[in-house]
Amino acid sequence: MTSRTSFVASSATLALTTVLTTVLASVLNTAPASAAPAADTVPSLVEPVLIGHRGASGYRPEHTLAAYELAIEQGADYIEPDLVSTRDGVLVARHENEIGGTTDVAEHPEFADRRTTRTIDGRSVTGWFTEDFTYRELRTLRANERLPLVRPDNTAYDGQERIPTLDEVIKLARREGVGIYPETKHPTYFDSIGLSLEEPLVAALEKRQWDDADDPVIIQSFETANLRDLDTMVDVPLAQLVDASGAPYDLVAAGDPRTYTDLLTPAGLAAIASYADGVGVNKDRVLPRTGGATTVPSAVVPDAHAAGLVVHVWTLRRENQFMATNFRIGTDPNAPGDLAAEARAFLDAGVDGIFSDNPDLVAGVLDAR
C-alpha cells in the first residue's frame, strides 16, 4: 500500500472519512447546471477521497481482483464493484449484466444457446446475461478488457481472472484496509425478474460485519427507490448517482417526470438528503463544457454542500477522448492527456471525491495538496 493509502485508509481514519463522506456518487454525461460565479478555489466539504473506478481499470481488465489490488497499491481509498446477480442470487462484480464484451463467454460453445435479447431499462440488449448463469457456471469464464482498441496493453491480461463475487471484494478490501463503494446495477430490472439486489447486498455486509454507519462502505445507485429502501435496511452511507442526461429508470417506469437535472436543483438535493449522504455526479455536471472545453464551475457543488451532501465526480480517465479539450495533449484520442490538471480543476471546484480509472495519477495530485 502507498503511504497515502496507509494514512487515509487506516481503520479509524477510513471510518471517519466514511462518516463524513456519507454522501457520494457517480454520474455519466453532460448537462450543465446553472452556472455559479467564477471562483479561484471552492473548499471541499471533507478531505477528498479517491475511488478506484472498477479498480485500476486503466491498467487491468475492469472488475477483476487484479484491478482492485492494483487500485489499492496506487493509493485508492475505496474500490468500486458494480453489482449484478447470477441466476442463483450470487452478487458478482460486472459493469453490466450483459457480459459478452467483458468475458470470454463467446468462446464457450456450451453456452452458445444462452445468447439472447432482453429489454434492460427500456433498451433492447443482445448478448449473454449473468442472470442466465449459475454462479458455478459463471466461474468457468474469464475476464477480458472491455476497451481493447483504447487500452491494448490491458489485453495482455485477458483470460487470467475470474469474475469476483461481492464477498471476495469485501474480503480483499478488509485485508488491505480500504473501503468499498458498491453500485447496484439496474435494480428495477432485477426486481422484475425476482433477483432483488438489496437483500443479498445487505446480507453480505452483515456477514462480514460491515453494515454500520462507521464502516468504510458507501452504496450507490442511479435509481432512487432502491436507495430509499436501503436507507431503512442498512446504516452505511448512501450516494445518489446523477447522470449527465436522462432520468432514474425507476422514476421513468413509475411515470414520474423528474429527471437527473431536477435532482440537482436545491429542492431536489434537499430530497436526496432525506435518504442519502452524498451524490455521485457526471463530471460535466460540475465543470460544464462550451466548445469542448470546461467553463466555470456550475452550482452543483455549493448547492449540494448547502444540503449537507458530499459530491463525488466520475470518471477521470487519462485518455484524451475522455477529457475536455483543454486537458488534452495532442490529437491522438487514445494518447494520455493531462489527467493531473483535470484532477486539480475538479478539486479546485470543491468536490469531495474522485472516481478514476488511473488512481496513481490522481493520488499524486491529492498528495501534493
Ordered per-residue pLDDT tens for the chain, 369 residues: 333 333 333 333 333 344 344 333 333 233 333 333 344 678 888 899 999 999 999 999 999 999 999 999 999 999 999 999 999 999 999 999 999 999 999 999 999 999 999 999 999 999 999 999 999 999 999 999 999 999 999 999 999 999 999 999 999 999 999 999 999 999 999 999 999 999 999 999 999 999 999 999 999 999 999 999 999 999 999 999 999 999 999 999 999 999 999 999 999 999 999 999 999 999 999 999 999 999 999 999 999 999 999 999 999 999 999 999 999 999 999 999 999 999 999 999 999 999 999 999 999 999 998
Give the separation between CA 14 and CA 301, rounded to whole angstroms. Answer: 23
Amino acid at 25: A
Do the beta carbons of residue 36 and residue 133 sit within 8 Å?
no
Q: What is the pLDDT of residue 131?
A: 98
Instruction: Check the CA dihedral 323-324-326-330 and report its sign.
Output: positive
pTM of the model: 0.90
| CA-to-CA dists, residue 114 to 51, 56, 86, 95, 195, angstroms | 34, 30, 13, 19, 18
Catalytic residue check, 108:
no
Cell of 26: 457517480
Helix (H) or strand (E) holding 202: helix 198-207
Classify residue 163 by its DSSP letter.
P
Coil, strand or helix: which one is 169? helix
Q: What is the pLDDT of residue 25?
A: 35
Q: What is the pLDDT of residue 40?
A: 63
Taking the domains of the chain in order of start, what are their residue ranges?
A: 3-95+163-368
Amino acid at 240: Q
Catalytic residue check, 186:
no
Q: What is the pLDDT of residue 41?
A: 78
Do the beta carbons of residue 264 and residue 251 sit within 8 Å?
no
Q: What is the pLDDT of residue 7?
A: 30
Q: Which of 53, 186, 305, 312 is catalytic?
A: 53
Q: Which of 95, 186, 305, 312 is catalytic?
A: 95
With residues binned 3-state (H G I as helix, E B as strand, rest as coil), the percentages for the chain, rounded to 5, are 35, 20, 45
By DSSP bridging, strand 293-294 and strand 238-242 are: unpaired
Give the separation between CA 170 and CA 15, rounded to whole angstroms. Answer: 15
Do the beta carbons of residue 297 and residue 289 sit within 8 Å?
no
Do the beta carbons of residue 56 and residue 357 sit within 8 Å?
yes
Maximum distance among all Cα pairs of the chain, rounded to whole angstroms: 59
State which CATH number among 3.20.20.190, 2.60.40.10, 3.30.70.20, 3.90.170.10 fits the domain covering 3-95+163-368. 3.20.20.190
Give the separation between CA 120 and CA 109, rounded to whole angstroms. Answer: 25
- Non-local CB neighbours of 284 within 8 Å, separated by 6+ positions: 29, 30, 31, 32, 244
